[in-house]
Amino acid sequence: MHLESYRCVLCVEDVDGDILHLLFQCQFSQACWIYLGIEWDTSIDHQLMFLRAREKFGSVIFREIIILAMWALWTHRNSIIFDGMPVLLYLEA
């Protein structure tokens, strides 16, 4: 799909909004993860990053929470780009 711009619409960083940025590196998504109590160490291999985050989170519903959060981040991004919705304010933990 062609878009006029591929910059992230969720933050003020001047970066392309690729999937890694959207889900883990974006200031907006990081605020969401902190709010949910999930810590990602993006400096390590992705599989290990998921395993460590799950261990630290310590709940059997880790997978369900991250799937829903990633879906919410993706659909929020799309609603801004395609429906003109405003960016939600950052969450305060």
Residue 9 binds to Zn ion (criterion: CB under 5 A): no
Site residues (CB under 5 A) for Zn ion, limited to 13-72 = 26
To Zn ion, the closest distance from the beta carbon of 22 in angstroms equals: 7
Q: Which is nearer to Zn ion, 23 or 26 (CB)?
A: 26
Q: Which of 76, 81, 38 is nearest to 58 (CA)?
A: 38
16 SS3 class: strand
| Total of chain residues touching Zn ion, rule CB under 5 A | 4
In angstroms, the CA 33 to CA 77 distance is: 16
- One residue of 11, 32, 66, 73 binding Zn ion per CB under 5 A: 11
CB atoms within 10 A of CB 66: 19
Chain positions contacting Zn ion, by CB under 5 A? 8, 10-11, 26
